Each structure stands twice: as structure tokens, then as C-alpha cells.
Amino acid sequence: MNSENRKYHSRSKPSKKRTSFQDRTVPEKRTDLQDRRASKKRTDLQDRKASKKRADLQDRKALKKQELTQKKTQPALPGSCPAAGKCGGCDLQGVPYEKQLERKDRQLNQLLAGLAEKRYPILGMKDPTHYRCKVNAAFGLDRKGKPILGRYEKNSHHIVRMESCMIEDEKANEIAAGIYSLLSSFRIRVYDEDSDSGFLRHVQIRRGFATDQYMVTLVCTDPVFPSKQNFVKALRSRFPEISTVILNINDRHTSMVLGERNIVLYGKGYIEDRLCRCTFRISPGSFYQVNPAQTQRLYETAIRYANLSGDETVLDAYCGTGTIGIIAAGHAKQVTGVELNQDAVRDAVWNARRNKTENIRFVNMDATDYMEKLSAGRIDGAHPDVLILDPPRSGTTPRFIEAAAHLGPEKIIYVSCSPDTLARDLKLFRKKGYHASKAQGVDLFPFTNHVETIALLSKEQG
């Protein structure tokens, strides 16, 4: 499993709801199978062409509208994006940032009323634009067979034409557009989903926010890329900040952006970023928060809530690539990170070594199983003084909460990316004797509905 399916609904990740090319192929059982298939193929093709024509027309209209709007309202204001409501990126286009923050605070206040004693105002960004340090751009063909560059439309495989996006890193947008402009001179054919032919499907660009290193992953259908060295040279001469280029092979009919195989074309095959004075590796498939500036504030809040003296044993459940645990290790006696995803654990071990952090270990296991086994004495390990959990949107499990209460940490720090499941879990924690003294939102995803929250729970006295 790579980073795309971990925690957040990535704007550029084709949604799970989307109908994949394969899904559209209905199995046939009858004897006139071939006839029906041929005629179905024809009708499917006609349908797809018609829908593509409609969508292209809508795109052109939207672009025209944007040009007109921009002429009237230079510089472009948030809300004037032609892809608003279409690309699946920003749900809150056109909503002033202050209002977005108020809306998120209201939501948290409603959900956490009676569950978290003090609720502090959400930490917003000074400049809420261009914060995404991970950009997935898609290539395809328009009706006339001309290559297009864009982002996926919400809940579909249709590509919305766009070269830049107000929440994505600007340089990453320029790099994607630069790749697009090199296509014809290098005779690179873009992938066409309808005919399942072509070479270049996507480009993923990731930026190490503090290091300003850029990683370009070209997602292609074939490992054979004849002019690769010259292509990389041309790209790097325009964008010297690119420190690594990777060819990722994805030849399957899939809604996942990345395939499993990576071939390094230039550089080390990964970039690094720094958060809270620690260095973390970002490789094409690894999970790393897309808004590092705000992530740093989130992690700082977690460390502040934990109020570590250096003597504590800390458990970092759902630890991903070990970020929070490694930062906490600098303030604690011993840390254990628990994570289900094997690749993430591998990255976490690498990150710990990179930071010369020796008082941390990682366990590749389901977090609930780990908690139950630890509390039943079926695996070795000290009981934690501080428990940090950062589960996916589905939240944690009643069994996890039961075992956590049995282990009895002094403090629990709950980092959540879904206020609904946070509220649900806080109720269960309360039943087990833990109450949240404070909670605060951190706006990791301006212009979207996503709300990240951090809550501090302590053992009720008596």
C-alpha cells in the first residue's frame, strides 16, 4: 500500500468511488457474447466520446469564463478557479479564509461540546494558498487527440484541464507544465484511457518544504523510455531544483496513481524534509503530510500537550513513517511506534537512523492487536506513560480504547483527521475514565472541508 490510500483523501487521487476502466466492463454470460461485446464496445466508445465532447466543451467554457473573470478581477482571487467544484480539490472555493476557519471551529465546537472541556480556536495559515507540497497531475487526450494536462474531476476519470492550482505548490505546477511543454519534442505519447494506449499517465511532484528539494515521478505504462537521459537533462536545465527523477511503472487499469515499480532516472530516488529539527525521507510511495508548515504546528502542539520530562515511555500508535514518535523521542526515555503498513515501517526505521534516534523501535502490527497483547502481557514492552494515537479517518476501535484504558497511561494525545470519529472515540474514552481537557483544530487543508484536530486526554481522578 502506498501513501495514496492512507489517511487523507488526496485531491489528485482518483476517488475510490470512481468507476475504473475495469469496473465498466460488465461480465457477459450469453452465447452471443462476442456480438454483444463488439456492439457494446461501439456504444461504450460512442458514449465515452459523447461524454468527453461534453466535458471538453464545459472545460473550454470554464476556461473562457476564467479569462473573463480574471480580466475583471486581476489578480485572480481565491474562488475564481475554473475547476472549482469539478476537480475534487477545493470544496471551499470562494469562501473567504476567515469564514472557512469559523466554519471549522463551529463544526468542532458542535461535535466536541461536552466532550472536550476547553476548545481553542483553530490554527490557521497566514497565507492559505499553494500549501500542497505534493501534486499529482494527470495527462490525457482531448477530443481531437491533443495531449492535455490537468487534474481529475471529482468522482470520475475525466481530466479537468488546468496548469496551475491555488492550493498546490507553485514551482510544482511550473514543473508539471514544463513536462507538458517537452512532450512533443521528445515524442512522448500521453496515455489514453479509452484506447488503453500511450506512455505517460501522470506526474507526481513532491517538495521537501524546508529543504526545497523537488522529486519528480513520471508515471508511465512502460519501463522502456528511450530518450530518458536527454529528457531529464532538458527538465533539469529548466528546473535545477529537481533533485531526483523517478520512472514509476503503472500498466494496470487502476484508480491508483502509482504502480509498484520505481526506476531511478536521476538522483537518490527520494528527497528529504525537516520538521521540528528532525529530517524525514520522502520517497514516491511514502506517506508524508502534504502541508508541512502546518504539520510542524500540529506536531509541536502534540509535544506541548505531552509535556515530556525525559523519563517517560511513549507509545506512538498509527505512527506512519515515525514522524511524531521520532520527534517525541528527543524528549522521552523510550518510544515505540506501531504501524500496520510494512513500507511505512521500513521508512520509519530509516528515519530513526537518519536522525540518530536510538530510543525508538517500531512494531509492524495492527494497533488494536498490539494494545490488546501488550495489556494482556502477551508481548514484551513497558506500559506507556503517554499514548499518542493518529488513526486514519475511520478512527480507532472500541477494543483499542478498552486496552488503552487497561494500560492506564497518564496522558493520551489523540491526533484526528475526522472530527466525527474523534467525537465518537472521545465518548468511549470518557466511559473508560479518560476525559479531554483541551482540543484544538489545526488547519492542514485550507479550501477543503477536512479538519485536523488534536486533543489531550487525562485519567480522571478517583
Interface with ligand SAH by CB under 6 A: which residues?
A: 6-7, 287, 289, 318-320, 323-324, 338-341, 344, 366-367, 390-392
* Minimum distance from residue 302 beta carbon to ligand SAH (Å): 9
Cell numbers of 311, please?
A: 523519563
* Minimum distance from residue 336 beta carbon to ligand SAH (Å): 12
DSSP string, 329-366: HTTSSEEEEEES-HHHHHHHHHHHHHTT--SEEEEES-
Q: Are 191 and 201 in contact (CB under 8 A)?
A: yes
Query: Considering beta carbons, is residue 325 or 409 the nearer one to ligand SAH?
Result: 325
Q: Name the closest residue to ligand SAH (Cβ).
A: 320
Query: Considering beta carbons, is residue 7 or 52 the nearer one to ligand SAH?
Result: 7
Q: What 3-state class would DSSP assign to 293? A: helix
Query: Considering beta carbons, is residue 55 or 348 the nearer one to ligand SAH?
Result: 348
Our CA dihedral for 419, 422, 426, 427, rounded to 10 degrees, sits at: 70
The residue whose grid cell reads 456504444 is 43
Q: What 3-state class would DSSP assign to 76? A: coil
Which residue in 258, 320, 253 sits closest to 8, CA to CA? 320
Active site residue 417: yes
* Minimum distance from residue 437 beta carbon to ligand SAH (Å): 22
Q: What 3-state class would DSSP assign to 251? A: coil
Q: What 3-state class would DSSP assign to 121? A: strand
* Minimum distance from residue 296 beta carbon to ligand SAH (Å): 11
Which residue in 345, 459, 339 sits closest to 407, CA to CA? 459
* Minimum distance from residue 366 beta carbon to ligand SAH (Å): 4
Cell numbers of 151, please?
A: 487534474
State the burial class of residue 384 (Cβ atoms within 10 Å of its Cβ: 0-12, 13-18, 19+).
buried
Packing angle, helices 398-407 and 367-375, rounded to 10: 30
Query: Considering beta carbons, is residue 287 or 434 the nearer one to ligand SAH?
Result: 287
Query: Considering beta carbons, is residue 191 or 400 the nearer one to ligand SAH?
Result: 400
Q: Are 173 and 149 in contact (CB under 8 A)?
A: no
* Minimum distance from residue 368 beta carbon to ligand SAH (Å): 6
Q: How many CA atoms lie within 13 A of 194 on its CB side?
A: 19
Query: Considering beta carbons, is residue 6 or 104 the nearer one to ligand SAH?
Result: 6
Q: Which of 87, 133, 319, 417 is catalytic?
A: 417
Active site residues: 417
